[in-house]
Chains A and B, each alone.
Chain A
Amino acid sequence: MYMCPDVEILSSFYDDELEDSQKQIVSNHVSSCPHCQKKLSELKLISESIHAQEEPDFQMAQVQVWNKIMDIVDHQEVRSPKVNFWQRRFQISFPAAAALAAAFIVVLTLSVFSFYMGRHTTSSPASPELNITDASDTLFNDDSLFDTKAIEFNIPAINTFIHAGEPLLIKEVDFRTRNGKN
């Protein structure tokens, strides 16, 4: 008589997973070993207890799930070619979206800034059309001018005229008057 096989072997024997030669040996042993017969009946009992519970209607489920799958598959197949270009959804990663948003904010800020700067410069009164002529020949070569006691300069008669510094012309006249003629 052979030694009792491991329960692991008996489990495989119960599942009919042993090779033919091994199966024959175990089968011969079990037929004459009450201990192994008991082990086998326990394995059978466990299996039967697992199957003791009532099961739902799997055939009905098979039909229901098939219909649902076909609905979904057909819907996807019909819908996909009709998607308009403008209705398509594009996926964009979060970093790319954040970079785009930041770029947009920068451009917006710059455009607002430049707009206000532009308004400031254009809001200042337009320079009056001054009739500027080169008077240096007259001033420096016409001695008769210095006979007069004063030279009159006309400044534009507008409110927003800002006097900023001494005109170079006056300085030069002063210099010529003081050092040249007087």
Chain B
Amino acid sequence: MDDKAKKDFFEKIYKEIFPVVVKVSYHVTRDMDAAQDVCQDAFIKLYHRLDTFSEVEDAKFWLIRVVKNLSFNYLEHEKVKNRAFDKIKRLPTFSDDTGEKQLLKKEAVEKVNQALEQLPENLKAPLILREFGGLNYKEIATSLGISESNVKIRIFRGREALGKLLPVGDVYVP
């Protein structure tokens, strides 16, 4: 593969996969800068081993797996680093233009985020890939290297756990 063909193939993969992986990374890390760094690292790794992929689909599943792993690694690293600081960061912030509705929404979103953070990685990853990555069960199974029936169970259990962590009355729906 010459340089131009390599770059064209890379650009094709990037355009197709970036919107998926950046969302997955953002919803794992809850940090857009971190999500961008993670995606950048993953795509540079992909570029250097592009010859090993013949189809966009192969690269897609490899990228999703790498981004998922890098994002959870980042999250774990940050948790250890900022365990004390997190408590301060999560306190609700009030501003003058915050109306009652806005405040309710903020609190509800905060509760959802906290509930998602409490999920273990094996339940959180398939749920995020499904909800934010828009992947079907088969694609999630290929990306995570698990069976489709396992994906089905994990997504169901993830939702069940979220349902327990989020009483229906507390959930804000726009």
Q: Which residues of chain A have a CB within 8 Å of any CB of chain B?
A: 7-8, 11-12, 15, 17, 42-43, 45-56, 58, 61-62, 64-66, 68-69, 72-73, 77
Which residues from B are CB-within-8-Å of A12? 137, 152, 156
Q: How far is the CA of A45 from the CA of B159 in the complex (A)?
A: 10
Q: How far is the CA of A84 from the CA of B131 in the complex (A)?
A: 51
Which residues from A are CB-within-8-Å of B40? 65, 68-69, 72
Is B112 within 8 A of A56, CB to CB? no
Tier of interface size on chain B = 35 or more
Which residues from A are CB-within-8-Å of B23? 55, 58
Is B145 located at the chain interface by the 8 A CB criterion? no
Which residues from B are CB-within-8-Å of A17? 136-137, 152
Is A53 within 8 A of B109, CB to CB? yes
Is B19 within 8 A of A58, CB to CB? yes
Nearest Cβ on chain A to B161's Cβ, whole angstroms = 10
Which residues from A are CB-within-8-Å of B173? 45, 48-49, 52
Interchain Cβ contacts under 8 Å between A and B, 8 examples: A15-B130, A15-B137, A52-B173, A53-B113, A56-B32, A65-B22, A65-B36, A66-B14
Which residues from B are CB-within-8-Å of A72? 40, 44
Is A11 within 8 A of B19, CB to CB? no
Which residues from B are CB-within-8-Å of A7? 156, 160
Which residues from B are CB-within-8-Å of A47? 131, 159
Which residues from A are CB-within-8-Å of B56? none
Q: How far is the CA of A33 from the CA of B82 in the complex (A)?
A: 48
